[in-house]
Structure 1
């Protein structure tokens, strides 16, 4: 079963009264608070979710920019969104699924049936479907989440991962090579990591490419069914998108949530540069 739903499929769910809760996770590095855009128009009934507050926690720089929230924090947030046992949660953004994937990855670990709206809010509008401008505050839900964290690896596990599997660095190539680093104190990549930017897996509208193409892209860096694979990015958001895509083509993956922001802020961690794993 696919991790994605189309705009038409979501509209059908909403109009037939299926137990579905829609959440709007508009977040980008250059605009982390997307509430303004949400209030300009969103899928009817969608609840705005602030990624930095409800899909992450805050700590020291050595923990990374988006540490994993506790299960209790995520459960409280899901209840605020109105999620009840048995609900399907559909999540979307306006950034080609990058932020939405963070919610998918966390909720999936918690045992929620969760889907991503393919193409995000743009696909909804392109389909000619209505949007609303209210600030949705549903009746609180009572969902109970399973413990999250099993789909993660620690910084020490990330360091050792290339010896037994494929560690993917899914950032832009220039950041991987260490030519530029706009956010973190050190440029480069985790030694042994292979670069495969997550943007290679979707088209200009944010829709996943055909599965054969996606599998071939992963195979080009040694990731095939049965391969142990983990992903990291700058702060653990984009890496969740790669995990989403991998799961869609039948390859389970772990995520290093601290990612480069944790690695580069931890004294003594080695750094590789250039276009080879190192």
Structure 2
């Protein structure tokens, strides 16, 4: 599920069925399209996280609801995806926004989706070339991919609340937001009662690569993730999930889901995340960190 920069460069030289998606996005900017035009992996197509990797919704739906299958399929065809393609996604944020595309496409039944380990920084560090402008807008032929309805485990608010009590529900946000020390975005500060603080940044090395699988597994097991959650395929049932993950709005939670998958677990994602939970006045909130 990971690919190194030099491996991607070799694939682009030898295969015609590799599609590269640039998913640059940061909360508060700068805007991704400008960064894409200033320099991107040759042949990459820009993906707009806000409009293509999320659907519209009310505050009670969270800031980044999942797009419908039809909307995501239309976007994927615009990107040039065809059935059987290998899809590589990257950003300039250690994979934290690209993981949203990785998870959504896997959720929609695309089997071969890879994250560029180390993100665009790794491509630059390898001395590989960048393209400028937006040539893809003129050269990419519309794709024909057919997506499925969701195939990965997903949690709604009730299932997230239950899993926090019966399994392990990981909060991928920074520790200060988990504790409720500050909340710069959402209406209430704190975390889902029973959730465990597990900042997704701790899954990375200093240079922005994912830690080795053995280290990730040890980390998650120390946090209380059960071996019963070991991955065994694309499970459809949420009732059997023993580990779930959420963040602020379901974006970096996908990055933690990627780390859990590397470690051999089969995580369920709570897409509404804290942005949904904190907008529901009947949902309780915890502050502090009982493990501290």
Tell me the TM-score range normalised by the shorter chain. over 0.9
Deviations 1:128-187 (A, max 9, x none): 111101311211000001112642110111111123210011111111111100001100
TM-score, normalisation: structure 1: 0.96
What residue number does 1:109 align with? 107
Q: How does 1:40-189 map to 2 (within 5 A)?
A: 40-112=38-110, 113-135=112-134, 136-137=136-137, 138-148=140-150, 150-189=152-191
Q: Please say which of residues 216-225 and 118-127 is displaced more in the overlay.
A: 216-225
Deviations 1:226-262 (A, max 9, x none): 1310000000001000111111121000110000000
Measured in 2, the distance between the counterparts of 1:30 and 1:244 equals 24
CA pair 225-206 structure 1, distance change in 2 beyond 3 A: same
Measured in 1, the distance between the counterparts of 2:267 and 2:119 equals 23
Cα pair 2:175 2:197 within 8 Å, conserved: yes
Query: Aligned pairs, how many?
Result: 275
Please report the RMSD computed on the Cα atoms of aligned residues, expressed in angstroms.
Answer: 1.2
Is 2:285 the partner of 1:271? Answer: yes
TM-score, normalisation: structure 2: 0.92
Cα pair 1:70 1:148 within 8 Å, conserved: no
Cα pair 2:226 2:243 within 8 Å, conserved: no
How far 1:193 sits from its partner (Å)?
0.3
How far 1:32 sits from its partner (Å)?
6.3
- Given the alignment, which residue of 25, 30, 55 partners 2:28? 30
How far 1:204 sits from its partner (Å)?
2.2
Q: How does 1:210-249 map to 2 (within 5 A)?
A: 210-227=212-229, 228-249=242-263
Gaps of 5+ in 1: none
Q: Please say which of residues 23-32 and 177-186 is displaced more in the overlay.
A: 23-32
Gaps of 5+ in 2: 230-241
Cα pair 1:32 1:52 within 8 Å, conserved: no
Measured in 2, the distance between the counterparts of 1:193 and 1:163 equals 8
- SS of the residue aligned with 1:152? coil
